[in-house]
A and B are shown apart, each in its own frame.
Chain A
Amino acid sequence: MDRGLFIAAAGMRAEQTRQDQLTNDLANAATPGYKRDRTTQTTFGDVLLSATRDGRAVGAVGLGPYADQTVTDLRAQPVRETGEPLDLAIEGDGYFAVQTPQGVRYTRNGQFTTSPTGTLADARGNQVLGQGGQPVPVDAQGRVAAGAVGVFALRDPRKVGEGEFQGTAAGQAPGVVRQGALEGSGVDPTIAMADMIASLRSFEAGQKSITTIDETLQKAANQVGSATGN
């Protein structure tokens, strides 16, 4: 009987993770170049039940779901015009590369600015790199030359925060840099909201299962053993 308790608890735990991820998506509904996350859920191994008298197999029971992997939806999103010369967007596949103190990181968020030395930098002051890994100069008009900013292909991209991805560089990507535009956030608010409600109700259902099992256990403990039967 207590097996059911743990199955329900595992389900609630998995929904918590899903809810946290949806929350992060909604918090980033207006973040340029943001890519939404999904968590895949899988089940703990099944346990084969057997009859106690003759050992005959009676069937499998699951041990509940758990979140096993984060999957990021990396599809390119539509770009929107901003008119700012240092807002850059990649149309199509590829990433900007920035030189951070932790090494080269990749991003789709092109809200760039100028460094004190007159080169292109990201919002935190990291150098944006050209295709050859060199800094990108910003001219006296506050613009960068077409094609000066590198677009890199990336294998196994993984989010590391601050809008950045880590992965294995794989040369040039086919994406085209567009000036004066930003890539929209990959969050679809409608879907995120609907998922959030679904997740909440699923969480609630887990709670109901636990309280129901709890009641049954209570009856087993207090009533079955009682001589009067109530």
Chain B
Amino acid sequence: MLQGLHAAAAGMSANQSRLDAVSNDIANVNTTGYKQNRVAFRDLLYVRDGVEDVQVGSGAGATTVGRGYAQGALQVTDRPLDVAIAGPGFLRVDTPDGAALTRAGDLQVDAQGRLATRDGALVAGVRPLPTGADATVKIGEDGTVRTADGQELGRLQIVNVPSPDGLRPLGNSRFAETAQSGAAVAANPPETRVLQGNLEASNVDMSTAMVDLIESQRAFAMASRAVQSQDQMWEIANGVKR
């Protein structure tokens, strides 16, 4: 009997995880380069109930299986330092905590002329820009950065990993390589292109997210109803001896 109570609680907990993930997606519907969470559900262990051929499940569990890497919509901004990655791959950046990968390409130039993300992570592989060059810089589809007069300043490092689902999210739209993701290798045209003057929008689809939200909320409510029902059974069982 305790089994049922725990199974119901496990179901509530799994749906709570999904609610959290979907809420996070909805909160990031306007975040540049954001990729939606994928939460996988599964039923849990089945245990034998009594001596007969009867087995009862232990509820549901949720695990995050990474992100949905569908391409987000490209938004034309015409700002020279906005770059969108079309196709699979990430831009490699250096943070004080080590190398990281991101798809948020709204870049800027810091006080020393270095190319950096909006929150200050330095873009790897590019020398500092000459003063005033940030308005005229040219970034090619292969990531090559040139000044207006053709001087090459380096190349954006666009890389991909064998299993993007294994990346560890660091916050600020950044990810770190892990053993599960595999080592990053260069991602090359024509699969992956760098588009200057564009930004990649969040790939969260609002209508799907809302439906997921409703579904997980209802499933949560049903599991909680099962908790109540199990509780009532306990009460009734307790009433056997008055």
Q: Which chain A residues have a beta carbon within 8 Å of chain B's beta carbons?
A: 12, 15-17, 19-24, 26-32, 34, 37, 39, 66-70, 82-85, 109, 111-118, 123-125, 140-142, 159-163, 189, 192-193, 196-197, 200, 203-204, 207, 210-211, 214
Contacts and interface: CB of A to CB of B under 8 A. Distances in A.
A85 to B, nearest CB: 7
Contacts of A196: 225-226, 229
Given A27-B7, A161-B58, 4 more contacts: A23-B7, A85-B70, A113-B40, A161-B43
A230 to B, nearest CB: 21
A19 B4 contact: yes
Contacts of B239: 207, 211
B68 to A, nearest CB: 5
Nearest to B2: A20
A20 B242 contact: no
Contact of B88 (A116, A142, A160): A142
Contact of A68 (B52, B58, B191): B52
| Shortest Cβ-Cβ A-B pairs, 7 listed | A27-B11, A24-B57, A20-B4, A123-B40, A114-B163, A111-B40, A163-B42
Interface of B: 1, 3-5, 7-8, 10-12, 14-15, 18, 38, 40-46, 49-50, 52-60, 63, 65-66, 68-70, 87-88, 160, 162-166, 179-182, 187, 191, 205, 208, 215-216, 218-219, 222-223, 225-226, 229-230, 232-233, 236-237, 239-242
Contacts of B49: 17, 20, 67
Contacts of B165: 113-114
A17 B54 contact: yes
B89 to A, nearest CB: 9
Contact of A28 (B5, B43, B53, B237): B43
Contacts of B219: 26, 29-30
